[in-house]
Amino acid sequence: MIKRTLYFGNPAYLKTINEQMVVEIQESGETKKVPIEDIGLLIMDHQQITITQALMAKLLENNVALITCNKTHHPTGMFLNLDGNTLQSKKFQAQIEASIPLKKQLWQQTVSAKIYNQAMLLAAEKIENKLLLALSKDVKSGDSDNYEGQAAVYYWKNLFPPFLNFTREREGAPPNNLLNYGYAILRAVVARSIVASGMLPTLGIFHRNQYNAYCLADDIMEPYRPYVDKIVCDIVGMNGHYLAMGTKFKQQLLGIPAMDVTIDGQKSPLMNAVQRTTASLVRCFEGKTRKILYPVMN
């Protein structure tokens, strides 16, 4: 069963009674209840939302990724369960002891899958993709030739219509705002699955930054990014220059965890596919396989 993504953008009081999350909506006085076990992602996007410690504890016990947003409505913080798997200590050890050659091979697979999915999205948008298809086949161990960067230059130059004069920058002009929001949701989904699989989201296979608590999430989400890009392409196609973040766009981006993707020849909601990806990564660290499962964009 796919877990629910809940978004709160108005003043509310969140508490718990009998394994239920109770939502008291301040403006209308309405009260709603949601089983905590059904929640996968909870986003709090208003400065007047209050949540009780008891509810936070139950959400984390159920491996819910809890996201907070700032006054500009961008996700800025995430809470995750510290004890997400019964064999966590064993899996931590396997992750820590993973060899450099294995990590380089895993990064090669990751970059190849990302570039291939980028190529498929370009094809879907009727944009020439031969360069990216060629790059995806020739990625070396550890991506020593930086094909990821080469692909990105071509991809971002051509993905969006020329009238946007788009440059991919975190603080850049729209649709960077939509990409950032979508990637934040994706990152939370991936981090949640990493914890559920018994790994540390801090220890990446490629990304290394002493100030980044989610290096592994940033690694594993790479081949999934084009699915976010696809939603943003659809928004641009329907709205042109009018890309200020609003409720309608947020609703579309909040659908990311439920998107259909194809992984290992089967269709699956993205959130479930991510769980398969992280489970396969654990098997790689444990020496049971050397292939990580990633989705293939059609």
CB atoms within 10 A of CB 36: 18
**Angle (CA) 174 155 100, round 5°:** 110
Is residue 148 a known part of a binding site? Answer: yes
Alpha carbon distance 104, 126 (integer Å): 33
Determine the distance from the C-alpha atom of residue 131 to the mean position of all C-alpha atoms in its chain, rounded to a whole number.
26
Alpha carbon distance 8, 211 (integer Å): 28
DSSP for 135-199, written as a single string: HHHSPPGGGTT-HHHHHHHHHHHHSS-GGG-----TTSSTTHHHHHHHHHHHHHHHHHHHHHTT-
Long-range contacts of 71-74 (CB under 8 A, 24+ apart): 71/47, 73/9, 73/45, 73/245, 74/177, 74/180, 74/181, 74/184
CB 39 within 8 A of CB 23: no
Is residue 222 a known part of a binding site? Answer: yes
CB 282 within 8 A of CB 94: yes
Whole-Å CA distances, 215 to 79, 133, 206, 271: 15, 27, 8, 19
DSSP 257: G
Hey, what are 178's tokens? Answer: 């939509």
Determine the distance from the C-alpha atom of residue 279 to the mean position of all C-alpha atoms in its chain, rounded to a whole number.
16
Is residue 46 a known part of a binding site? Answer: no
Helix or strand (DSSP H, E) at 271: helix 270-285
Residue ranges of the binding site for Mn(2+) = 148, 207, 222
Residue ranges of the binding site = 148, 207, 222
